[in-house]
Amino acid sequence: MSAAEFDYHRAESVDHAIELLAAESEAKLLAGGHGLIPAMKKRELTPATVVDIGRLDTLRGIERTEGAIRVGALTTHREVLDSPLLDEWVPVVPRTVAHITGGRQVHNFATVGGNLARAHPGYDYEGALLAAGCEIHVRGPEGRRTVPIAEFVRGACTTVLEETEIVTAIELPTVDGERGGGYAKRKEPASGNAIVGVATDLRFEGADRRVCRSVTVAVNGLQESAVRLTAVEDALTGAAVGPATVERAAAVAGDSVDAALDNEKASATYRRGLLEPYVDRSVTQAADT
C-alpha cells in the first residue's frame, strides 16, 4: 500500500515549521520518518501536508547544562547510544536505546523527538525518560513551554502537543554521586516493540555502590503510557542492593498497577506475569553498571 497524496514543505527554521503547521490544514511533522512514513503507507495517517524538519541542525545535539543533560529533538538513537555524557550522567537512557530494534537504518535516522511525539505504548524511550525524570521542551505559536514527562503522554499515540507545536529538546536532570541504569525488555516478535519494558534509574548512597539512596522504576508496554512501579521503588530505597533485595522488590512489582493492556499482541495476564522477571533483570543491570 502507498501513502495518499500530500503536499510537502521543508522547514528552514523552527519558526518556519511552526508557521507552516499553523497555515497548512491537517499537517504532520516529518523528522526521521520511521514512525510517520510507515503509518502513512498503511493509511493509518493521511495528512494533507507534511512539514519536513529533518535538516534543522538547531534541534540536534547532546550537551551538559547546569544540572542537566540537554538532548535536541532531532538527535538520533545512534547519537544517544554513543554519547559519553549520557553514559556517565543518565545511563538508563543509552541502556534503553540499545534495545531498540531495526538495525543501523533505524538507529541512524530515527529521532528522540519523533519517538516521543508518536507516543506508541510499545516504544522504549518513554519508560526510560520517566525513570530519569526528564522534562520536554515544546515550542509553538504561543511561545515556549516545558512539560514533565509524566504529563506529556496522554494515552496510546496521544500527547499534550497542540497541532502547531514542536518538541525541541528534552532535559534529563543530573545527580551527585554514583548512578546506575538498566533496561529489560520482552519484545513483540514482529515489530520489536516492547510487550513489557522495564527501565531503572538507581542512585547509590556512596562510592561503593552498595546502598540504594533512591530509585525510579518505570514500565512501558504494560499500559497505554509508561507507569512507575512505586512498590518496587519503596522496597529498594535505603536497602543494600543484592540478589535477595532485588528478588523481594521484583516480587511486589504487580502491586503498583491495577490494569494492563489486553490485545492481539499479548494478554493482560501475560504482561503482568512478565513484570517480576523483567524488573529483576532491569534492577540487576542498574546495580551492576
The cell for 90 is: 543518565
Binning pLDDT at 50, 70 and 90, where does residue 78 land? very high
Query: How distant, in Å, are the alpha carbons of 126, 236, 248, 250, 284 from that of 244?
Result: 28, 11, 6, 10, 11
- Residues 29-50, mean pLDDT to the nearest whole number: 89
Instruction: State the Cα–Cα distance between residues 5 and 186, nearest whole angstrom.
Output: 37
Mean pLDDT of the chain: 95
The pLDDT score that the predictor gives to residue 245 is 97
Binning pLDDT at 50, 70 and 90, where does residue 183 land? very high
Q: What tens digit of pLDDT does each residue of 18-28 get?
A: 999 999 878 99
Binning pLDDT at 50, 70 and 90, where does residue 262 land? very high
Query: Given the DSSP bridges, would you call strands 166-173 and 135-140 parallel, antiparallel or unpaired?
Result: antiparallel
User: Same fold for the domain at 57-173 and the one at 179-288?
Assistant: no
Residue (of 177, 125, 117) closest to 153 by Cα position: 117
The pLDDT score that the predictor gives to residue 38 is 86
Query: How distant, in Å, are the alpha carbons of 25, 53, 63, 105 from that of 59?
Result: 24, 9, 12, 20
pTM, entire model = 0.94
The pLDDT score that the predictor gives to residue 162 is 94
Residue (of 9, 55, 29) closest to 163 by Cα position: 29
The pLDDT score that the predictor gives to residue 44 is 87
- Residues 175-179, mean pLDDT to the nearest whole number: 95
The pLDDT score that the predictor gives to residue 271 is 97
Write phi, then psi, for 178 (nearest 5 degrees). Answer: -75, 145
The pLDDT score that the predictor gives to residue 102 is 82
Superfamily classification of domain 179-288: CO dehydrogenase flavoprotein, C-terminal domain (3.30.390.50)
The CATH architecture annotation of domain 7-52 reads 2-Layer Sandwich (3.30)
- Sequence-distant (6+) residues with CB within 8 A of 227 are 130, 218, 219, 256, 257
CA angle (54 as vertex; 51, 59 as ends), nearest 5: 110
- Residues 185-205, mean pLDDT to the nearest whole number: 96
pLDDT at 141 over 80: yes
The pLDDT score that the predictor gives to residue 37 is 87
Give the three-class secondary structure for 259.
Answer: coil
The pLDDT score that the predictor gives to residue 105 is 83
Locate the domains of the chain by residue range: 7-52, 57-173, 179-288
The cell for 202 is: 538507581
- Residues 64-68, mean pLDDT to the nearest whole number: 96
- Residues 140-145, mean pLDDT to the nearest whole number: 97
Instruction: State the Cα–Cα distance between residues 128 and 112, nearest whole angstrom.
Output: 12
Binning pLDDT at 50, 70 and 90, where does residue 33 land? confident
Query: Given the DSSP bridges, would you call strands 62-65 and 158-159 parallel, antiparallel or unpaired?
Result: unpaired
- Residues 49-77, mean pLDDT to the nearest whole number: 96
Instruction: State the Cα–Cα distance between residues 148 and 162, nearest whole angstrom.
Output: 16
pLDDT at 32 over 90: no
pLDDT at 103 over 90: no
The pLDDT score that the predictor gives to residue 279 is 98
- Residues 161-169, mean pLDDT to the nearest whole number: 96
- Residues 175-187, mean pLDDT to the nearest whole number: 97
Q: What is the CATH number of domain 57-173?
A: 3.30.465.10
The pLDDT score that the predictor gives to residue 106 is 86
Give the three-class secondary structure for 76.
Answer: strand
